[in-house]
C-alpha cells in the first residue's frame, strides 16, 4: 500500500468521528422500572429493564431512532426483550432538555411460564440536563403497554400496562 493511501485513510479515520460528534442526536443507555399501582396497572411483575438506544434530531426538534431493551422480573415471573423505533419531539433551552417520546417495537418474553412474541409501546415525558456539551442525563416517567402476538389471539395470554420511570445517560450532539 502506498504511503499516500495510508495518509488518506488515516485522515478519514480522524475526520469521520469529528463530523459525527457535530451531528445532532444522542445514543446511550437507560435503566427503568415498572411502578405498580392497582388502579393504573394490570399486573405486578416487578420488572426492571435496561435499554440501549440511539436517535437523530432535526433542527425543529423531531426525533427518530431505535432501541433495544431487555427486562427481568425480580420475582422470577418474567424475562425477555424488545427492539423497535423511537419517535418524538424535544425542546431545548440552554442546558435543559424536555421531550415527549414514543417507543414501539416487538420482541419476546417468558411471562409466568408462558413464552410469547410481544408487541410493545411506551410513551414517555423526559426531563434532562446537558452536563457537558456532548453528554446529558435524563429522567423520565411514562406509561408502558405490551401484550402477546403469538401464541393465541393478540393480547389474550399476556396483557401488561403500567406506569414506568427511569433514568437515561446519552452521548452525542446536544447543542443547538
Tens digit of each residue's pLDDT (9 = 90 or more) over 119-176:
999 999 999 999 998 899 999 999 999 999 988 888 888 888 999 999 999 998 765 5
The reply to whether 16 falls in a domain is no
The reply to whether 6 falls in a domain is no
The reply to whether 106 falls in a domain is yes
The reply to whether 13 falls in a domain is no
From residue 171, how far is each of 28, 123, 159 by CA, in Å?
A: 6, 22, 34
Q: Would the pLDDT of 10 be above 60? A: no
The reply to whether 5 falls in a domain is no
Number of CB atoms found within 10 A of residue 41's CB: 17
The reply to whether 32 falls in a domain is yes
Which residues lie closer than 8 Å to 147 by C-beta, 6 or more apart? 118, 119, 154, 155, 158, 159, 160
Q: Would the pLDDT of 106 be above 70? A: yes
> Per residue in 30-58, pLDDT tens?
999 999 999 999 988 888 999 999 999 99
Mean pLDDT of 81-105: 95
Number of domains into which the chain is organized: 1
Helix (H, G, I), strand (E, B) or coil at 18: helix
> Per residue in 56-90, pLDDT tens?
999 899 999 999 999 988 877 778 999 999 999 99
**Residue 13 or residue 97, greater confidence:** 97
Q: Is the dihedral of CA 10, 14, 19, 25 positive or negative?
A: positive
Look up the CATH number of the domain holding residue 122.
2.40.160.20
Structural domain boundaries enclosing 32: 23-173
**So what's the pLDDT on residue 153?**
84
Amino acid at each position: 500500500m502506498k504511503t499516500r493511501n495510508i495518509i488518506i485513510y488515516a485522515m478519514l479515520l480522524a475526520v469521520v468521528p469529528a463530523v459525527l460528534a457535530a451531528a445532532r442526536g444522542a445514543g446511550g443507555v437507560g435503566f427503568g422500572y415498572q411502578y405498580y399501582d392497582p388502579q393504573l396497572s394490570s399486573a405486578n411483575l416487578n420488572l426492571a429493564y435496561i435499554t440501549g438506544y440511539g436517535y437523530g434530531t432535526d433542527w425543529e426538534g423531531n426525533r427518530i431512532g431505535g432501541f433495544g431493551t431487555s427486562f427481568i422480573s425480580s420475582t422470577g415471573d418474567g424475562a425477555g426483550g424488545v427492539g423497535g423505533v423511537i419517535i418524538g419531539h424535544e425542546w431545548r433551552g440552554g442546558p435543559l432538555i424536555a421531550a415527549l417520546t414514543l417507543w414501539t417495537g416487538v420482541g419476546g418474553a417468558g411471562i409466568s411460564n408462558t413464552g410469547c412474541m410481544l408487541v410493545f409501546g411506551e410513551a414517555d415525558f423526559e426531563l434532562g440536563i446537558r452536563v457537558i456539551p456532548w453528554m446529558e442525563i435524563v429522567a423520565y416517567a411514562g406509561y408502558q403497554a405490551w401484550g402477546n402476538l403469538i401464541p393465541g389471539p393478540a393480547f389474550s395470554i399476556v396483557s401488561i400496562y403500567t406506569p414506568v420511570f427511569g433514568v437515561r445517560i446519552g452521548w452525542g450532539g446536544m447543542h443547538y
